[in-house]
Amino acid sequence: MEVEYKQVFKTVGLGTTIWSPLCSGLLSGKYNDGFPKGTRLDIEGLDWLKDRTLIEKNLEKTRNLTALSADLGLSMAQMALIWCAKNTDVSTVILGASKTTQLKENLKALELMHKLTQEVMEQIEVILDNKPVPPPF
């Protein structure tokens, strides 16, 4: 997202909507050790999404995030959702659960938001290494 929108969020009070906060299932951790059949990225016609998402750089970051989430007593999906929701510029996080168990796990993230302290948020940023850089003006 363009960092220039930060001022709009701050001054107007708008927020952004996060669609696919689990990155088509990548941030659930289910692809950490291989490619399970019957997943969203296994759907015919979504090869472009699979090829863009399941690259080693993304998988390595997800494995590191999964280890951190386990240390916190969170599922990977919960940590990803909390990370999105804790962003002050986010007003909505759209869930894409395809099973009741996933929905229940995702909604439980609301009760666990306190686990992502500022220190943990910084650890996540180090792992992701993709924080937008604001323009010099």
- E-assigned strands of 1-137? 16-18, 90-93
106 domain residue, yes or no: yes
Half-sphere exposure of 95 (CA within 13 A, CB side): 19
96 domain residue, yes or no: yes
The larger pLDDT score, comparing residue 12 to residue 61, is at 61
Q: What is the pLDDT of residue 57?
A: 97
Q: What is the pLDDT of residue 98?
A: 83
Give the number of residues written for the chain.
Answer: 137
DSSP state of 46: -
Q: Which helix (H) or strand (E) holds 11?
A: helix 6-12
Straight-line distance from the first to the last Cα atom of the chain, in angstroms, rounded to the nearest whole number: 17
> Which pTM does this prediction carry?
0.89
Query: What would the pLDDT profile of 7-59 be if each residue is shown by its tens digit?
Result: 888 888 888 999 999 999 999 999 999 999 888 899 999 999 999 999 999 99
3 domain residue, yes or no: no
Return the structure tokens found at 98.
Answer: 């395809």
The rounded distance, in Å, linking the Cα atoms of 135 and 127 is 23
Q: What is the pLDDT of residue 1?
A: 67
137 domain residue, yes or no: no
Among 40-44, 76-80, 120-124, whose mean pLDDT is lowest? 40-44
Average pLDDT over residues 109-127: 96
Query: What would the pLDDT profile of 84-108 be if each residue is shown by its tens digit?
Result: 999 989 999 999 888 899 999 999 9
Average pLDDT over residues 62-74: 97
- CATH number, domain at 77? 3.20.20.100
50 domain residue, yes or no: yes
- Does the structure show a pLDDT above 80 at 2? no
The rounded distance, in Å, linking the Cα atoms of 86 and 94 is 14
136 domain residue, yes or no: no
Range of the structural domain that residue 91 is part of: 18-128
Q: How many domains does the chain have?
A: 1
| Phi-psi category of residue 133: left, alpha or beta, with phi > 0 → left and psi -120 to 50 → alpha | beta
Q: What is the pLDDT of residue 133?
A: 81
56 domain residue, yes or no: yes
93 domain residue, yes or no: yes
